Chain A
Amino acid sequence: MPAAIEVRGISKHYRITPAGSQPAYRTLREELAELPGRFRHDRRRTRTLVALDAVSFEVEAGDVLGVIGRNGAGKTTLLKVLSRITRPTVGEAVIRGRVGSLLEVGTGFHPELTGRENIFLNGSILGMTRREVREKLEAIVDFAEVGPFLETPVKRYSSGMYVRLAFGVAAHLEPEILLIDEVLAVGDLAFQRKCLGKISDVARSGRTVLFVSHNMTAVSGLCSRVLLLEGGRLASDGPTREVINQYLKSTARAAGERRWARAEAPGNERVRLLAVRVVSEAGEASDLIDVSAPFRIETEFEKLDGEGRLNVSLHIDSLDGVCVFNAISPLDELEPGTYQSAVHVPGKLMNDGVYRVRVLLVVDLVAQVDEHDAIVFDVHDTAREIPWYGRWLGAVRPDLPWSLERLPDTGVSTRHHPSLTLP
């Protein structure tokens, strides 16, 4: 039997402008202004970003394949190519079977439309006919638990209801091949469990699943085989545990430090920021921190004048911009010179997730340096005791002592019982 997905040497190149932030679309004026350059084959202004580089693999029908890698490694691009949102620049892929792709939960949902209307619209966007949707309407509504609100515009839904409904439509798509990107990033605990349950149902029913995720816990729970992408290349392809370990080791080496050349260092004539590092328990700069291990964030800076009292302020923000905490160092009067300050974060404090560090260097209560996203790091959680792969709720995940005691049976006078402490 031929493979469900065959990918042969797929590459995807994007042309980007050096400024990076410029939009990809153009105005005619720009095009006309560059016209003379075109004739001279002057291509200085654009360079090529290789998002995928000669990636080849096969997926047998019925396999559940995980795809992991850092941000920008090409995971989403791979899914976009396979779901025909964008074409590869080079290479070829053959897909045998109807494809359902879920790059986002609730694509095409419109807030003004009712739940029922959105089910039909979303279903048809995902490739179902109105008839197919009608047949599955009841199952979708049951799954999403939105029965009483079916005729309410979804703008009045809670975010949980919204996500449940959106995933419900996609979950009932019943294609032979399902491509999923990070759907577990949303929703509450019970819902995540439900989604994962649905995905493993899909997998068990003999369908092929390609599952892209940052959530190592979910990947190791669902997938038997994992692809690791690094810089657009296929770095590894093998059994889940091996590939995940390789990923965690490889990422620990390279990143975790950001250093500025003196000429470009953020700052002014009083103070300059030279480097920011996230350092793991083992003493290595790393942007992958285990949820249970302590780590420190080091800030290297240069004080240029000898005046004023300086302190370092670090904002630790979650990826969606919520400040988890603000660590502020004591005030110090510093001679001119280069300094390194470090803040020590205990283990079992932060939740798993991606965090951004904003660094402020403050002299006499006036910020001299304010560097957003100075460094980004990842707190991950691979070894879990509870068989649940969702994300813990909450901004932090402190390890708090618990106690449990057995109360005396009714009618018996109170007596002391030793308390049980859970780890």
Chain B
Amino acid sequence: MTSAGRSASALPETVIRPVRGWRALGLGELWRQRDLVFLLAWRDVKVRYSQTALGVLWAILQPTLLMVVFAVFLGGPSGLPSGGLPYPLFVFAGLLPWTFFANSVSTAAGSVVASEKLVTKVYFPRLAIPFSAVAAAVVDFVLATGVLVALMLYYGIAPGWRLLAVPAALVPLALGALGFGVLLSALNVAYRDFRYVAGFLVQLWLFATPAVYMEQESTLEGGLPAAAATSEADGAKDSQEPGDAPSASPQREAVGRAPRLALLNPVNQCVAFFRAAVLDRPLPWTGLAWATAIVLPVFLGGCYYFRQVEDRFADTI
């Protein structure tokens, strides 16, 4: 090796051998080929809307129609608590990040299987596939933001300095979407059952994310979830009521308590934080910290699992 010529040693050397043990995440390689992620995402977006009658309107329609449904059935004076905000605006500000998460996870989950032709014919960092699915969902998210702006104008609610905190909610949300999406996409190759799992999971997840459609007590503020959960019985409200939350209303009793477990759901925390940032409410930093603490290992674990099994994709897909 030492006697190798200069020109030859300058060439990149690739060693191909069976996989043994743990492998690096390979995010560096993915970064070098970020153009690929971008182009795949852009292809998905363009193809998705190029032959539909409504085109990009679909990106807006999905959360908007959901908002209408929620507003009709759950909003109104006797409906769910919405922190003193108009319910349609309140629920849309929650549906926007939620739709991004849900679409990311479900499209990413099927992405590798859908890219069978690519996977069996050419080498490239495989993680680019689910990553690009999430990137494509970002485009829909940005488009649907227009509706949020329109609603805020309509209700005359202006954003404040807290708007700057929006990325703090979106980064963990995107990491969570990537983590779950990447994991499911890899599992889907080996076990096609996960095609159904992903759809069902996302449906259930909405119910486990009450922040989307109702104001919750921010139990996490000033305490660990476990502590909060145990103190639930003996009127924890008094000590933990956030400053500007509306006083305990009869509606709250009518709906019943939001499942405390939902507070463990990182998406729930991100949604609540996003809305607080956009609509200029006090920011639930503790909840967000908790969400980030959960989402990071999910992201890393999902990518690790994916890397462990990706070499088998071409053989089993």
Interface set of A (CB-CB < 8 Å, partner B): 1-2, 14, 24-29, 31, 61, 80-99, 101, 103-104, 107-108, 110, 112-113, 117, 120-121, 124-127, 129-130, 176
Total chain B interface residues with beta-carbon distance under 8 A: 43
> Would A94 and B122 count as touching, CB distance under 8 A?
no
Contact B122 A91 (CB under 8 A): no
Contacts of B123 in A (CB 8 A): 83-85, 101
B117–A108 contact, CB under 8 A?
Answer: yes
Considering the chains assembled together, what is the distance between the CA atoms of A81 and B123 in angstroms? Answer: 10
- Taking the closest CB of chain A, its distance from the CB of B187, in whole angstroms, is 10
A1-B7, A2-B8, A26-B192 given; 7 more Cβ-contact pairs under 8 Å: A61-B8, A90-B18, A93-B15, A93-B16, A94-B13, A127-B124, A130-B38
Task: Point out the residues of chain B lying under 8 angstroms from A176, CB to CB.
Answer: 11
Q: CA of A89 to CA of B20 in the docked complex: distance in angstroms?
A: 11
| B191 and A31 contacting across the interface, CB-CB below 8 Å | yes
- B172-220 residues at the A interface, CB under 8 angstroms: 189-193
19 CB-based A-B contacts, threshold 8 Å: A25-B189, A27-B193, A28-B193, A83-B122, A87-B311, A93-B16, A93-B17, A94-B14, A95-B13, A96-B14, A98-B12, A107-B121, A107-B122, A108-B117, A110-B47, A112-B46, A113-B43, A125-B122, A129-B35
Q: Shortest Cβ distance from A417 into chain B, in angstroms?
A: 56
B34-64 vs A, Cβ < 8 Å mask (1 yes, 0 no): 0110111001001100110000000000000
A14 and B312 CA atoms in complex are apart in Å by 10
Check A27 against B191 for contact (C-beta < 8 Å). Answer: yes
What are the 3 closest A-B residue pairs judged by CB atoms, nearest first?
A84-B123, A93-B16, A24-B316
Q: With CB as the reference atom, state the residue of chain A lying closest to B14.
A: A95
**CB of B191, distance to nearest CB on chain A (Å):** 5
Taking the closest CB of chain B, its distance from the CB of A103, in whole angstroms, is 5
Q: Which B residues are in CB contact (< 8 Å) with A89?
A: 18
CB distance from A419 to the nearest CB of B (A): 52
Q: How far is the CB of A403 from chain B (nearest CB, A)?
A: 48
Chain B residues, Cβ within 8 Å of A83: 122-123
- The count of A-to-B residue pairs whose CB atoms sit within 8 angstroms is 125
What's the minimum C-beta distance from A130 to chain B, rounded to whole angstroms?
A: 5
Query: Once bound together, how far apart are the Cα atoms of A86 and B13, in whole Å?
Result: 18
Checking B43, B50, B193, B315 against A121 with a beta-carbon cut-off of 8 angstroms, the contacting residue is: B43
Question: Chain B 274-317, CB within 8 Å of chain A: the 1/0 string?
Answer: 00000000000000000000000000000000000001001111
Q: How far is the CA of A101 from the CA of B5 in the complex (A)?
A: 25
Quick one: which of A89, A92, A117, A125 has the most chain B CB within 10 A?
A: A125
Cα distance, A61 to B7, chains bound together (Å):
12
Interface contact A124-B120, CB-CB below 8 Å: no
For B14, list chain A residues within 8 Å (CB).
84, 94-96, 99
In the bound complex, what is the Cα–Cα distance between A24 and B7 (angstroms)?
A: 43
Q: What's the minimum C-beta distance from A171 to chain B, rounded to whole angstroms?
A: 15
The answer to the question of B236 belonging to the interface, with a C-beta cut-off of 8 Å to chain A, is: no
Bound CA–CA A177/B153 (angstroms): 59
Nearest-Cβ distance from residue B316 to partner chain A, whole angstroms: 4
Contact call B40/A121, Cβ cutoff below 8 A: yes
Residue in B closest to A105 when the chains form the complex, CB atoms: B121
Least Cβ–Cβ distance between A74 and chain B, in angstroms? 14
Which residue of the partner chain B has the closest CB to A93?
B16
